[in-house]
Amino acid sequence: MSGFDYDRVAARYDRHRSGGGPYFPRLTALADGCGATRVLEVGAGTGNETVLFLQAHPCALTALEPSANMLEAGRAKGLPVRWVRGAAPALPFQDGAFNFLFASYVLHHVRDLGPFLSECARVLACGCAAFVTVSQAFIHGHVMNAYFPSLAVIDAARFQPIPEVEAAMRAAGFRDVASEDSTSPPRIIDAEYIEKIADHFISTYALLPEDEFAKGLARLREDVFLRGKRISMVREATLVWGFR
Ligand SMILES: C[S@@+](CC[C@H](N)C(=O)[O-])C[C@H]1O[C@@H](n2cnc3c(N)ncnc32)[C@H](O)[C@@H]1O
């Protein structure tokens, strides 16, 4: 599946991560624009994005998720969703079963984009596929790199550069491929955010060498709590999409 065990973190993932983000209006506008009725979400996790998507765009939604514990946490929310256990690249659905497909923060877990995107094209009758990810510029400019130097090294290797994603989409048969960066308003790093880091709320923190993580966290706590440093952070996401 990936180098990270989502089964182990399902409970805390749901505590610390919520769906949505600066890309969300564009994501739902794309679904609205192609009149999406049958939607596939790949790597739906605990359904955080699923809840918001259904509210914004009511539809028949299938949520695919490889981790049994993430899926169970999602199913427990009682959403009107068909949950299916499975992992990209294989999509266990008939040709043309959907008219919209999306995946938020999943592409970096898929080693080879080609076979996965071909599967996406196969299960889409017509309509649109959209992927939420982050750019290399965001990874290299992340404010937490100052505390955890390996953060950017790990993520730059995991997250495919946006031009690579776009080229793979075109090669898989998508047309009018486009991408858009979006940012949330700046926020000041506070105790709540630091506790999320301490709880490895993003998989990258769990992939850091243990001593680097401990030292970086201690330094961050000192800066914020002892020195009163105000660290401003902007969340940025990139949405990449294409049509069939
Ligand atoms: C960062 S989480 C995102 C979850 C959800 N999309 C969200 O935004 O809250 C990544 C998810 O991708 C799933 N995943 C990992 N490898 C996958 C694969 N090969 N195919 C589909 N999903 C995968 C993980 O189990 C996890 O639930």
Q: How far is CA 2 from CA 65, 66, 87, 106, 203, in A?
A: 13, 10, 10, 10, 11
Report if residue 212 sits inside a domain. no
Confidence band of 3 (pLDDT split at 50, 70, 90): low
Q: Which of 109, 112, 133, 204 to mutate to test the pocket of ligand 1 (most atoms within 8 A of CB)?
A: 109
Domain count within the chain = 1
Query: If you average pLDDT over residues 165-192, what whole number do you get?
Result: 97
Ligand 1 site residues, Cβ closer than 6 angstroms? 1-2, 6, 17, 19, 42-45, 48-49, 65-67, 70, 87-88, 104-106, 109-110
Tell me how far apart the terminal alpha carbons of the chain are, to the nearest angstrom: 27
Report if residue 228 sits inside a domain. no
The CA distance from 235 to 233, in Å, is 7
* Residue 103 pLDDT: 98
* Residue 1 pLDDT: 41
Report if residue 196 sits inside a domain. no
Tell which residue, 115, 6, 23, 17, has the closest CA to residue 69: 6
In this prediction, what percent of the chain has a pLDDT beyond 70? 99
| Dist. CA 109 → ligand 1 center (Å) | 7
The CA distance from 121 to 138, in Å, is 28
10 pLDDT more than 90: no
4 pLDDT more than 80: no
Report if residue 154 sits inside a domain. no
Which range of residues forms the domain containing residue 94?
6-135+159-185+236-243
Report if residue 56 sits inside a domain. yes
Report if residue 39 sits inside a domain. yes
Query: If you average pLDDT over residues 135-151, what whole number do you get?
Result: 97
Report if residue 34 sits inside a domain. yes
| CATH code, domain with 77 | 3.40.50.150
Ligand 1 atom at shortest distance from the alpha carbon of 66: 25
| Dist. CA 70 → ligand 1 center (Å) | 9
The CA distance from 199 to 6, in Å, is 14
8 pLDDT more than 90: no
Query: If you average pLDDT over residues 174-183, what whole number do you get?
Result: 98
DSSP state of 108: G
Nearest CA to ligand 1 atom 27: 45
Confidence band of 201 (pLDDT split at 50, 70, 90): confident
* Residue 18 pLDDT: 82
| Dist. CA 32 → ligand 1 center (Å) | 24
Report if residue 153 sits inside a domain. no
Name 138's Cβ contacts closer than 8 Å, sequence gap at least 6.
181, 236, 238
Q: pLDDT tens, 39-79?
A: 999 999 999 999 999 999 999 999 999 999 999 999 999 99
Say which range, 12-16, 124-128, 162-166, has the weakest mean pLDDT.
12-16
Q: Which of 17, 61, 106 to mutate to test the pocket of ligand 1 (most atoms within 8 A of CB)?
A: 106
243 pLDDT more than 50: yes
- Top pLDDT among 221 and 12 is at 221
Ligand 1 atom at shortest distance from the alpha carbon of 6: 25
Ligand 1 atom at shortest distance from the alpha carbon of 67: 25
